[in-house]
Amino acid sequence: MADVGRTGDLEIGQALDFQRRQWFIQRVGWVAMALVILSALAGLMGAGPLSHASVGSPEGDLRLMYPRFDRRHAPTEVRLEIAGDAIREGEVQVWLDQAFLDRIELEQIIPEPEEVFTGPDREVYVFRAGSDPGQPIDVTFQFQQDAFGVHSARVGLVDGPQLAFWQVVYP
């Protein structure tokens, strides 16, 4: 709806009150835009210092590095550090809970597991230790998030410690 008023000789729909409110809102918006950029730089919207998180078992034999804030369909990874004393008979069995696996698109596991089998509500990955028995193993799961929201997930060693963590996944 055009509302036409008069300013001097001009027939024009100026609305100075609206204009002033708009200037104010725009300036608030600029601050908001700056805050969005700063929070993204800090890692609140994906990779960055505030996103980097880790959780470990009390015994210190299992540690998980994961991004607290992730984005749907963006490549991401979690890294498991398994201490040498958690490795039994030259192998270690890592499990991820099925609910977590259902929400992601698993792309690669480094190193590649020797064997994979499905347990109750979980998937188990078997890794063989190197020739040096006390050597820790680092396992990296590379994947994409498939569902956005706030998710909690669990990961652990068969007959060993388990870790729970949560992630915020942006659309």
Partner 1 sequence: MDSIVRAVVVYAVLLLLFRIAGKRSLAEITTFDFVLLLIIAEATQQAMIDNDNSMTNAFLVITTLLGLDVGLSVLGQRSRIVDRLINDVPLVLVEDGRVLKDRMTKSRVDETDILQSARQEGLERMDQVKYAVLERSGGISIIPKEAG
Stretch that binds partner 1, among 23-31, 57-65, 87-95, 96-104 (CB under 8 A): 23-31
Q: What is the dihedral of CA 126, 129, 134, 136, to 10 degrees?
A: -70
Which region, judged by CB under 8 A, interacts with partner 1, from 22-30, 55-63, 88-96, 120-128? 22-30
Whether residue 103 contacts residue 96, with contact meaning beta carbons closer than 8 Å, is answered with no
18 near partner 1, judged by CB under 8 A = yes
Structure token pair of residue 135: 């050597």
**Cβ 16 to partner 1 shortest distance, Å:** 8
Asked if 6 interacts with partner 1 (CB under 8 A), we say no
d(CA 33, CA 140) in angstroms, rounded, equals 35
**Of the ranges 2-10, 82-90, 118-126, 135-143, which one interacts with partner 1 (CB under 8 A)?**
2-10
For the segment 63-122, give every residue that binds partner 1 (CB under 8 A): 73
147 binds partner 1 (CB under 8 A): no
Q: Specify the stretch interacting with partner 1 by CB under 8 A; choose among 19-27, 85-93, 111-119, 126-134.
A: 19-27
In angstroms, rounded to a whole number, what is the distance separating the alpha carbons of residues 16 and 146?
48
Least Å from the CB of residue 107 to partner 1: 14
Interface residue with partner 1, options 14, 108, 140, 152 (CB under 8 A)? 14
What is the binding site for partner 1 (CB under 8 A)?
1-3, 7-10, 12-15, 18-19, 22-23, 25-26, 29-30, 32-33, 73
